[in-house]
Amino acid sequence: MDSSPASPTDCALRIKGLRKCFGKQTVLDYLDWSLPTGRVVGLLGRNGAGKSTLIRCALGLSPVDAGDITLFGEAVTELRPETLHRIGYVPQSFDLFPWMKVRQYLAFHAAFYERWNSEMVDGLLGRWEVDAAKKIGELSQGQRQKLAIIRAIAPDPDLLLLDEPVASLDPQTRRLFLDELLRITRRPGKTVVFSTHITTDLERADAEIALLKSGRIQFSCDLPTLKSRVRRVDLLGALPPADWRHPGILRQTIEEGGAHWIVDGLDATSVENLAARFGASAVTSPMSLEDIFIELG
C-alpha cells in the first residue's frame, strides 16, 4: 500500500458497527462514524457519554466487542509503523515521567519518530511558557497539559486526537492556547478531533460538531448548519394547548404571558404555519451552541 499522505478526499478515520461494553453497561452501541481528512471536529457529549472510550477504541488502545475501525485505510489492529507516525494523541490523563527534565523528555520521544519539528517545539515551549530546564514533576497541571500536546504535535501528525486538551487551563490562557493550536493544525490534509464539553471552545474554533449520545454519533455537521437547524421560536398573541406536540418541536414551554418552542429542522414557513394554527405569530431566534447542546445532549 502507498505510504504517501492521504489525499483530501480520503478518510482519516472510519468506524463501522463499533460496540463497546463494560460489564453489562453498553457505552458504544454499534456506532458508525466516517471522518474525512482536512477537518477540525469537536466531539461533544455529556460527561460519561463515552468520548474518551470512543477515542481509545479508534486508536486501538481499548479492545472492542464488535466493529471495524480503519485509520488511513488500514485496520487499526494492523497499522504499519509509517502509519503510526502519522497519528498524534493526547489522553485526558497522562504520565509524563516526572523525574525527567522537559528537554530530555522531548528528546527521548523525538528518537522514535521519522519526523520531528524541533523548531516548532522550541517556539511553543517559549510562547506557552514551559521551562525546558525544569523537571516535569515541577510543572503545574496546565504546563504538563501543554507539554503533552507539544509532544503529540511535534512529529507533524496527519491525524491528531485530543481528549479534553484544555481542561486544566484558565479561560484566558485556554483561548490563546486554542487559537495557536488550531493555527498549527489547520493546514491542508491535517485532521483534528478534540473531545470537550466546553462549547465556547468549539464555537471559537469554528469546528464541525459531532454529538455522541446514547452510544452513537447522533449527527456530525458544521456549526452554521447546526445553528440553522436548531432554533428558538417565541409565540406572540396566542398560546397553544399545554400538551400539544408536533414532530420537529423538541420542547414547548408555556409561561405567564407567552410560550416558546425549540425546533429542530423546521423551516421558517413551517414554523409560521404551525403558529398560525393557534392565531399566534412566530419570532425565530438563533441559539448558542451551549443552549443547543442542552436541548440535544
Question: What is the per-residue pLDDT across 151-192, written as a single tens digit (0 to 9) for each?
Answer: 999 999 999 999 988 777 778 778 877 888 778 778 888 999
- Interatomic CA distance for residues 265 and 291, integer angstroms: 16
Cell numbers at residue 134, please? 525544569
Looking at residue 22, what is its pLDDT?
A: 95
Q: What is the pTM of this model?
A: 0.86
- Domain boundaries of the chain, sorted by first residue: 11-221, 226-296
Phi/psi of residue 133, nearest 5 degrees: -90, -10
- State the pLDDT confidence band at 75, using cuts at 50, 70 and 90: very high
Round to the nearest angstrom and report the end-to-end CA distance of the chain: 40
Please state which architecture CATH assigns to domain 11-221.
3-Layer(aba) Sandwich (3.40)
* Fold matches, 11-221 and 226-296: no
Fold of 226-296: Alpha-Beta Plaits (3.30.70)
- State the pLDDT confidence band at 1, using cuts at 50, 70 and 90: very low
CA distances from 102 to 3, 155, 271 (A): 32, 16, 58
193-209 residue pLDDT tens: 989 888 888 888 778 99
Q: Is 5:86 a contact under the CB 8 Å cutoff?
A: yes
Cβ neighbours of residue 18 closer than 8 Å, sequence gap 6 or more:
28, 30, 31, 32, 33, 54, 57, 64, 66, 67, 69
